[in-house]
């Protein structure tokens, strides 16, 4: 309950356990600084739920207790879903959930439930579809009204507290009163609306029947559709707000490799250039903000998410391989270094996110982006007049700025143009900028930082393990592989539920059953780590998780995977994860894993599962939109098995051959590196590819094969380079297909 002044024993103990330095997040404080209200959320580990622990609202967490009370007292359920770094979630908390009049209505007439969408993506996905059904658009905070049977009868997103505020005709207080009265006056009408909405949700979630897997035309059609929405000036797709869409950029690279389509390459390069130069890219600290609010990628929504940075690091790494551009590699390096520096839990995992809002020193308030933005005066105070002159010219800092006189750092001109404008040499400007970046970062570290969500999420850590493993390969940085291995060991050691995974870990507590994405993304990370470190224990762990997925997530009737396991809580709908969102489709990642595992192990059962999952996704593949990662899986399948095996005589003997491989863009391949002796014997127990492979020339030998046809083994890096160059996609159909965008 939300208790005033004297929390009940359990809540009081939880409050005391926060320690003397605990600062309650509420405006309702007693003279001694203690919180006036404390509710059940004080018992949680989720930073988002804890943000609401001192609201006057009598919050419950999702569970049987809340719905049992709603049923016993004939009350509707008020369900609020958000996440800790959501700006408008913070606004609604301050405006409405801290409001005692609104809290009184909620406490007297509803059962109020708060859910962290990052802890329970299954609940979030189900009721987001309800929001789309009722209002036509979605977002967070999510506001849903349910019957005690968990069926939705009204839904929306953010509501201001009262009528007329923020330009809204209807505020939350009026909405609560109206729905309270309607629920009491017309329960049959409410029940009918809830039943019909539930039937619509269940019908929408029903899988399409399996179909024929489309060919390359599906990829071409999707790229042509992307071209119609492409912004040729600033890159990206469609109008503001602009999101990075990493799976779409991955698809463009694979399509260009397959077709030679110059337009696809141009869309990719333009987007990556403009994103890297924009304010969405943290020019000082590295990494990317969530999205841009404008067409030019200039003014971001300043939260930073682990999943964005993991995916974008891989995109820039692959783009550096495809184009040979060192600047793309440096963007990836800066992104990975940012995560290692600022998003690493000492226990080994990676944090989830940092907030968009940050404290304004001396103002007693938080403002979006203050931590990341600068004025000319602040720049000069930090750098001095000469250095600040260079930094202001390069980073576009002026008195007008973009946010109430504060400038978002971006790079509208390259250093050489800045040098010409300032009458300096390019070398002088580059030296000055290197020094300025260091000093600005150090100064920024002394500012009050945005809040950080310290949850460790299995899926997002899997994506980051992939990014670090790939970074170790492409950038030649062993420290990235070492950190990826530490994170993998942490998730496997601390986030287990039987043979599967828990989704989240926080403050020593692992909880919430893992979803398809948690398992699939970690399997992907383990495969990338195996290919980087050559430690077969990571492959063994990946196979074990894959077996768990097949046993508990597989949809035997249709093929493919459910979002949740058969051991998970049963919701109104057991959904699937076929379309990409901010994260890649769980089914797409799982299919790619199956193809890779089949190529490594020679297990035809895994290849059959991949084929069935692709047939189950046939309708989604034909639609194209929202299926970029599935289309990447289709691209991999169309290529057929591509295998590269490197065998050496001692550790490090294959390095020159590995460097050749990691310089080029060969996305759809399985890689095995083994050392003769005990290592190759251990790996052969799982890796069928190693059968018959041994050093034939010198200290290391490379074997390159496609569809059971192999090039001659070679020990020469130049010869391997030529073989990889011939490792393009299979020949096109006899009848030419129209070019994408044509």
pLDDT value of residue 722: 93
Give the whole-angstrom CA distance, residue 136 versus residue 436: 47
Residues 658 and 556 in one domain: no
Residues 313 and 234 in one domain: yes
Nearest residue to 574 via CA among 104, 300, 87, 201: 201
| CATH code of the domain covering residue 468 | 1.50.10.10
pTM of the model: 0.95
Q: Is residue 233 part of a domain?
A: yes
Q: Is residue 737 part of a domain?
A: no
Residues 462 and 372 in one domain: no
Q: Is residue 512 part of a domain?
A: yes
Residues 399 and 388 in one domain: yes
Residues 439 and 550 in one domain: no
pLDDT value of residue 252: 98
Q: What's the domain count of the chain? A: 4
Residues 199 and 279 in one domain: no
| CATH code of the domain covering residue 711 | 3.40.30
156's tokens: 């929306």
pLDDT averaged per 10 residues, the chain (length 742): 59 88 91 93 95 97 97 97 94 96 97 97 96 92 97 96 88 96 95 96 92 96 96 94 97 96 97 98 98 97 97 98 97 98 97 94 89 97 96 97 96 95 95 97 96 97 98 98 98 95 95 97 98 97 98 96 95 90 96 97 96 96 91 95 93 95 94 96 94 89 87 94 83 42 32
265: CB partners within 8 A, 6+ apart = 252, 256, 322, 323
Range of the domain at 505: 216-353+454-639
By DSSP bridging, strand 500-506 and strand 142-146 are unpaired
Whether residue 468 contacts residue 484, with contact meaning beta carbons closer than 8 Å, is answered with yes
Residues 631 and 655 in one domain: no
Residues 579 and 551 in one domain: yes
Residues 663 and 635 in one domain: no
pLDDT value of residue 626: 85
Angle between helices 187-205 and 121-135 (to 10 degrees): 110
Residues 402 and 304 in one domain: no
Write down which residue in 449, 484, 516 finishes a domain: 449
Q: Is residue 132 part of a domain?
A: yes
Q: Is residue 283 part of a domain?
A: yes
| CATH code of the domain covering residue 91 | 3.40.30.10
Q: Is residue 329 part of a domain?
A: yes
Q: How far is CA 21 from the centre of its chain?
A: 32
Residues 159 and 144 in one domain: yes
Query: How many CA atoms within 13 Å lie on the side-chain side of 35?
Result: 26
Q: Is residue 567 part of a domain?
A: yes
Write down which residue in 605, 639, 673 finishes a domain: 639
Write down which residue in 569, 604, 639 finishes a domain: 639
Whether residue 503 contacts residue 119, with contact meaning beta carbons closer than 8 Å, is answered with yes
The beta strands (E) that lie in 384-435 are given as 407-408
Residues 419 and 460 in one domain: no
Q: Is residue 736 part of a domain?
A: no
pLDDT value of residue 708: 72
pLDDT value of residue 731: 59
């Amino acid at each position: 309950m939300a208790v005033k002044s004297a929390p009940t024993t359990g809540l009081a103990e939880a409050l005391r356990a926060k320690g003397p330095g605990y600062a309650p997040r509420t405006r309702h404080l007693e003279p001694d600084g203690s919180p006036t209200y404390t509710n059940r959320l004080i018992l949680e580990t989720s930073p988002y739920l804890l943000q609401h622990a001192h609201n006057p609202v009598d919050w419950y967490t999702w569970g049987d207790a809340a719905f049992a009370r709603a049923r016993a007292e004939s009350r509707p359920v008020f369900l609020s879903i958000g996440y800790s770094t959501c700006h408008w979630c913070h606004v609604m908390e301050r405006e409405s959930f801290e409001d005692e009049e609104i809290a009184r209505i909620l406490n007297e007439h509803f059962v109020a439930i708060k859910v962290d969408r990052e802890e329970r993506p299954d609940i979030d996905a189900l009721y987001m579809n309800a929001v789309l059904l009722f209002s036509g658009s979605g977002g967070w905070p999510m506001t849903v009204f349910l019957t005690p049977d968990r069926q939705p009868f009204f839904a929306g997103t953010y509501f201001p507290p009262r009528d007329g505020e923020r330009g809204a005709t209807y505020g939350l207080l009026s909405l609560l009163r109206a729905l309270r009265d309607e629920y009491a006056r017309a329960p049959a009408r409410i029940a009918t609306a809830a039943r019909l909405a539930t039937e619509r949700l269940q019908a929408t979630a029903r899988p399409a029947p399996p179909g024929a897997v489309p060919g390359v035309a599906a990829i071409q059609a999707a790229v042509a559709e992307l071209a119609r929405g492409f912004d040729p000036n600033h890159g990206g797709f469609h109008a503001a707000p602009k999101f990075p869409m990493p799976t779409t950029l991955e698809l463009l690279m694979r399509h260009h490799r397959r077709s030679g389509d110059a337009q696809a390459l141009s869309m990719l390069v333009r987007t990556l250039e403009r994103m890297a130069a924009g304010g969405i890219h943290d020019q000082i600290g590295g990494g990317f903000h969530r999205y841009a609010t404008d067409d030019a990628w200039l003014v971001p929504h300043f939260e930073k998410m682990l999943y964005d940075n993991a995916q974008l690091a891989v995109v820039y790494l692959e783009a550096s391989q495809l184009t040979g551009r060192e600047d793309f590699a440096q963007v990836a390096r800066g992104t990975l270094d940012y995560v290692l520096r600022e998003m690493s839990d000492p226990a080994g995992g990676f944090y989830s996110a940092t907030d968009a809002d940050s404290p304004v020193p001396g103002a007693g308030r938080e403002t979006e982006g203050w931590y990341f933005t600068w004025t000319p005066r602040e720049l000069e105070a930090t750098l001095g007049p000469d250095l600040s002159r260079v930094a202001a010219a390069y980073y576009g800092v002026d008195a007008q700025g973009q946010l109430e006189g504060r400038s978002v750092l971006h790079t509208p001109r390259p250093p050489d143009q800045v040098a010409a404008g300032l009458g300096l040499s390019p070398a002088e400007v580059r030296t000055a900028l290197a020094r300025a970046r260091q000093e600005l970062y150090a100064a920024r570290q002394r500012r009050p930082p945005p809040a950080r969500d310290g949850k460790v999420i299995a899926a997002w850590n899997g994506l980051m393990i992939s990014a670090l493993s790939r970074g170790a390969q492409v950038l030649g940085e062993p420290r990235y592989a070492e950190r990826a291995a530490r994170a993998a060991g942490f998730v496997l050691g601390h986030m287990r539920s039987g043979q599967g995974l828990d989704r989240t870990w926080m403050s020593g507590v692992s909880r919430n059953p893992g979803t398809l994405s948690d398992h699939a993304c970690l399997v992907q990370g383990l495969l990338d780590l195996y290919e980087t470190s050559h430690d077969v224990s990571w492959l063994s762990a990946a196979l074990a998780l894959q077996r768990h997925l097949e046993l508990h997530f597989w949809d035997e009737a249709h093929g493919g995977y459910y979002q949740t396991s058969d051991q998970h809580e049963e919701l109104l709908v057991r959904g699937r994860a076929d379309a990409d969102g901010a994260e890649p489709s769980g089914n797409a990642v799982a299919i790619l894993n199956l193809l890779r595992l089949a190529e490594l192990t020679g297990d035809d059962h895994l290849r059959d599962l991949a084929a069935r999952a692709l047939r189950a996704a046939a309708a989604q593949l034909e639609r194209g939109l929202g299926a970029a990662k599935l289309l990447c899986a289709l691209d991999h399948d169309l290529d057929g098995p591509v295998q590269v095996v490197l065998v050496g005589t001692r550790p490090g003997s294959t390095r020159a051959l590995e460097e050749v491989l990691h310089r080029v863009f060969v996305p759809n391949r399985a890689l095995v590196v083994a050392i003769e002796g005990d290592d190759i014997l251990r790996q052969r127990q799982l890796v069928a590819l190693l059968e018959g492979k041994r050093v034939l020339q010198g200290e290391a030998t490379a074997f390159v094969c496609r569809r059971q046809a192999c090039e001659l083994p070679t020990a020469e890096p130049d010869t391997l380079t030529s073989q990889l160059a011939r490792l393009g996609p299979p020949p096109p159909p006899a009848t030419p297909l129209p070019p994408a965008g044509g």
